[in-house]
Chain A
Amino acid sequence: MGEAKVIKGIGASPGIAIGPAFLLDRNQQKVMKYHLSEHEIEAEKIRFREAVDRAEEDLRQLIAELPEELHEHTGILESHLLMLRDSMVFDRTLRFIESERINAEWALNRSLDEIKLLFSRVKDQYLRERAEDVKYVVKRIHDILSGNHITNFNNLDEPVVLVARDLSPADTVQINQENILAFVTDMGSRTSHTAILARSLGIPAVVGLEDITARVLSSSKIIVDGISGLVILDPTPEQVRQYQAKKEDYHKYRLDIVYNSHLPAESMDGFRVKVKANMELIEELPSVIANGAEGVGLLRTEFLYLRQKKLPSEEELFSAYKEVAERLAPYPVTIRTLDIGGDKFVSSVSLGEELNPVLGLRAVRLCLSEPELFKTQIRAILRASVYGEVNVLIPLVSGVLEILQVKEFIETTKAELREEGVEFDPNIKVGIMIEVPSAVMVADLLAKEVDFFSIGTNDLIQYTLAIDRVNEAVAHLYEPLHPGVLRMVKKTVEAAHASGIEVAMCGEMAGEPMYVPILLGLGLDELSMNPIDIPRIKRMIRSIKHQDCIELVASLLDESTAVEIRETLMAFLYRHFPDDYDLPLGRYGDGQGRWGQQ
């Protein structure tokens, strides 16, 4: 048995898991082998041909988009193109499918074996190594054939810790969560998609481990500590005992907090804040309600698009929105219109490849340029508005013109529905996400046009600080406490209140207990977060005085660096919550309160 190894990553979702690792390694996928019956042969050949077509298309695109400095590699890629169609690969695989009655993957491997044998006999070492190119080409076809590799492991017979290089939003929605004890990935940060989803599902996750996929063996025992961001490979029995205890401890702590979660979010001196949930999957509704949310402040709708290959129909969207509205009533739900592009893509909406997708055709820009796509959503939202309190939230608005266009679009859609005799709430509230710096700068003008603001801190911070939050090289510079960020929030709140509208915050920052004093001090009316964070946030709000928060913020806004702001904040937290924030031990930074330390 190997020695226990402790690896430090980023704790992306709290909780403890102990169990067997399941390595999702795309390089070493096991090839499925099965025999075909007579009538399946034709379809299998078509499946193979289509996979090769796809691989060819992908390669051509790769060649076309190769940057100038890599042009010398086109030769290699062109030889790959030829290999795809080479008779030894293409024709022979088709022949194997037919003569041996075996599936495409198996037949392809048979072809590859013969090619490898042929290459192994070549004396020239350089030429012999070209066999690697063939393997690479074959792998491309395999990847396409297996396509939805995730489906295979929905049939796991025991719960596992999923270990992967990275998980795309499409991967994560297809995972059957009952079988997943925890997520562990090489890539990612606290705000990457895997992290957000893991938190909303209440599954522990450690991300940003760099090379964990190279160090873990499938089915070996692994401990995941999403609280401290640690992963332990081949733990000793002593460590297992210790973590079992920690797991139970954490469970009790969660229970204790959940029992108190239905108390109002009111500060000790009577300042009332609305605490709502962010959610994306209908399956999360019970968790939203159990954790004491006063409604949903952000309903992400992208997942309705991610789950299937074709665009969802108006009826599908409507029935999903209606269900949420009905089950939440009398609490309200704020539905955000489609926010794809940037780092989120769906297969049913084809977007051009963009050099800078985060600054590209995404969110409201995409919706305005694809009126049909937008129309379906607005109609579905309007129709759902008679079943509960429904608000519309428009993402990525950068200025007044966009919101005028959106409002006109909504009015036209209302007129259509009226004509068709379809019911909707004529006073439905329309709000915008504040996540582009220009929107902050013209927040006073925008406030006159909309019914509410919702600050999306993830993007706002990313755009304000020019930090790509998924780029590991600069992720550490992503700093919510940057004075520039705090001033952005302050300006937004002031503009909203001057026009008499409310301002919410629905980014990651709103779910972090340590930021609560700042957010209260800045005067936000509503905080919306992952359901699992609600009890801790409420507890924080209930144990603090609004007046103290206002004074804290006044002093923070005088500080010139995030480091000083963090120090002042930590000193404040330590003064008010000595048990939770233990300054001398340096527990701060992880934002996990007393669970931040082993």
Chain B
Amino acid sequence: METFEIEIVINNRLGLHARPATKFAQLASTFESAIWLKKGREMVDGKSILEVLTLACPKGSSLTVVAQGPDAREAVEALKELVEKQFGEFD
């Protein structure tokens, strides 16, 4: 089983709040691979909006996206792009 990891930094003004977290979990759910979001030693299910929200990631947080499964590479790349484009928001 392939595993991919990618580093991301949250640059939205409000951090990973409701709307970005929704978009993150929504996108993550479209992949077959298991996806985790890692902050320090904490690791949560990237497809669970509640876990992503309660991970509490303010602006500037450094996170790791971990994906394991057949489409793991596509998953981490797509999620990184989402974060880099600041979730399509201008806030």
Chain A residues with CB under 8 A of B25: 82, 86
CB proximity to A under 8 Å, residues B52-91: 53-54, 56, 58
Chain B residues with CB under 8 A of A134: 50
Cα distance, A122 to B42, chains bound together (Å): 13
CB proximity to B under 8 Å, residues A67-86: 75-76, 78-79, 82-83, 86
Interface size class for chain A?
20 to 34
A84-125 vs B, Cβ < 8 Å mask (1 yes, 0 no): 001111000000000000000000000000010011011110
Q: Is A133 an interface residue (CB 8 A)?
A: yes
On whether A87 and B18 interact (CB within 8 A), knowing A124-B56, A124-B58, A130-B53, the answer reads no
Chain B contact residues, majority secondary structure = helix
Cα distance, A305 to B18, chains bound together (Å): 43
Cα distance, A75 to B58, chains bound together (Å): 19
Decide: B26 and A82 in contact? CB cutoff 8 A: yes
Decide: A88 and B22 in contact? CB cutoff 8 A: no
Q: Is B6 an interface residue (CB 8 A)?
A: no
On whether A118 and B50 interact (CB within 8 A), knowing A124-B56, A126-B14, A127-B56, the answer reads yes
CB proximity to B under 8 Å, residues A38-93: 75-76, 78-79, 82-83, 86-89
Residues of B within 8 A of A (CB): 14-15, 17-19, 21-22, 25-26, 29, 45, 47-51, 53-54, 56, 58
Cα distance, A337 to B19, chains bound together (Å): 50
Decide: B18 and A133 in contact? CB cutoff 8 A: yes
Cα distance, A119 to B58, chains bound together (Å): 15
On whether A87 and B15 interact (CB within 8 A), knowing A118-B54, A122-B56, the answer reads no
Closest-CB distance, B13 to chain A (whole angstroms): 12
Cα distance, A79 to B17, chains bound together (Å): 11
> Can you name the residue of chain B whose Cβ is closest to the Cβ of A117?
B54
Chain B residues with CB under 8 A of A126: 14, 17
Partner of B54 from the list A76, A78, A127 (CB cut-off 8 Å) is: A127
Chain B residues with CB under 8 A of A119: 53-54
Cα distance, A87 to B29, chains bound together (Å): 11
Decide: A88 and B56 in contact? CB cutoff 8 A: no
5 A-B pairs with the lowest CB-CB distances in the bound complex, closest first: A79-B22, A82-B49, A122-B56, A88-B50, A118-B54
Decide: B58 and A86 in contact? CB cutoff 8 A: no
Closest-CB distance, B48 to chain A (whole angstroms): 5
Partner of B22 from the list A78, A89, A115, A127 (CB cut-off 8 Å) is: A78
Decide: A83 and B54 in contact? CB cutoff 8 A: no
Closest-CB distance, A216 to chain B (whole angstroms): 35
| Known contacts A82-B26, A122-B54, A127-B54, then 7 further A-B pairs from the complex at CB < 8 Å, ordered by chain A residue | A86-B25, A86-B49, A86-B51, A88-B48, A118-B54, A122-B53, A124-B58
Partner of B50 from the list A78, A86, A124 (CB cut-off 8 Å) is: A86
> Can you name the residue of chain B whose Cβ is closest to the Cβ of A137?
B50
Closest-CB distance, A490 to chain B (whole angstroms): 61
Closest-CB distance, A419 to chain B (whole angstroms): 60
Closest-CB distance, A253 to chain B (whole angstroms): 61
Decide: A76 and B56 in contact? CB cutoff 8 A: no
> Can you name the residue of chain A whose Cβ is closest to the Cβ of B49?
A82
Decide: B56 and A83 in contact? CB cutoff 8 A: no
Chain A residues with CB under 8 A of B15: 124
Chain B residues with CB under 8 A of A76: 18
Decide: B53 and A75 in contact? CB cutoff 8 A: no
Chain A residues with CB under 8 A of B53: 119, 122, 127, 130
